[in-house]
Chain A
């Protein structure tokens, strides 16, 4: 087997330069672009809120803080199951990898489900992005920024659940070992990043 090809995929022999293997470096660079993406959304939100405070209501008046607190709890738990999956395959425990991956997928899907339920409830109550349908104060900017930020995050979680399912599918076929687990590590990085973004969003959108 061509050594350089093995080295590329083998996390234990990182490439020169950044001293991490290419898959991980690529994921980190992608996540940094995502930092800028969410920073632009959050930055705009802060500016709009400074400029038009009258468009917002106090925390808990429109948005269901306790429901999303449960959702935050779920996403934090899914970070633990994800890191447990990674720890399992690092030690060659393929059964542990599959179980922890499955737990992460189920929790992640629950998060998306609860967010979908939250949206339908809010829309039913009239809290929608455009101004016309909602008479109470703080409708248009509040609604537009809320659905934009949490919607994009929800899309990221959904994509993460699909990617985790693919990784689980490959794990079922024995694709990962203690010598080659790059795919598990990089999906883990993505998943933890999605949790990290929600930690910030939950505070800014729901609690401030």
Chain B
């Protein structure tokens, strides 16, 4: 990644978004909503924050497409793990 590209890196903006989302989670978590609605909303925000960290701070944004494929490779395995074990209980 060329050094001059660095001036355009939105590090502080991402930081603010992460903080706002964390505060949003805290407020949302204690709302009087059905459990499933709470769970889905919280998990969506958590995944959103995780993606922001991966894309901007881990610089996936600047990596070749092959690295995206590599980075995403454990996700199907993770889904298989959780789904198959979920059917057990």
Task: List A residues at the B interface (Cβ < 8 Å).
Answer: 18-20, 28-29, 32-33, 35-36, 39-40, 43-44, 46-47, 50-51, 59-60, 65, 69, 72-73, 76-77, 79-80, 82-84, 87, 90-92, 178, 188-189, 192-193, 195-196, 199-200, 202-204, 207-208
Check if B82 is an interface residue, CB within 8 A of chain A: yes
On whether the beta carbons of B39 and A208 are closer than 8 Å, the reply is yes
Nearest residue, chain A, Cβ from B82: A43
> Measured between alpha carbons, how far is A59 from B30 in the docked complex, in Å?
8
On whether the beta carbons of B89 and A32 are closer than 8 Å, the reply is no
Interface residues in B19-47 (C-beta closer than 8 Å to A): 19, 22, 25-26, 29-30, 38-39, 42-43, 45-47
On whether the beta carbons of A35 and B45 are closer than 8 Å, the reply is no
On whether the beta carbons of A47 and B85 are closer than 8 Å, the reply is yes
Nearest residue, chain A, Cβ from B5: A90
Task: List B residues at the A interface (Cβ < 8 Å).
Answer: 1, 3, 6, 9, 11-12, 15, 18-19, 22, 25-26, 29-30, 38-39, 42-43, 45-47, 49-50, 53-54, 56-58, 63-64, 66-67, 70-71, 73-75, 77-78, 81-82, 85-86, 88-89
Selected from B53, B63, B81, the residue in CB contact (under 8 A) with A39 is B81
Question: Chain A: interface secondary structure?
Answer: helix
On whether the beta carbons of B38 and A208 are closer than 8 Å, the reply is yes
What are 17 of the A-B contact pairs (CB < 8 Å)? A18-B67, A19-B64, A19-B66, A20-B67, A29-B70, A39-B78, A46-B82, A73-B19, A76-B19, A79-B57, A83-B9, A90-B3, A92-B3, A192-B57, A199-B46, A200-B46, A203-B25
> Measured between alpha carbons, how far is A188 from B60 in the docked complex, in Å?
13
Measured CB to CB, the closest approach of chain B to A60, in angstroms, equals 7
On whether the beta carbons of A28 and B38 are closer than 8 Å, the reply is no
Measured CB to CB, the closest approach of chain B to A29, in angstroms, equals 7
A200-B50, A208-B38 are known contacts; what are 9 more A-B pairs with Cβ within 8 Å? A43-B81, A46-B82, A72-B22, A76-B19, A79-B57, A87-B11, A192-B53, A199-B46, A200-B47
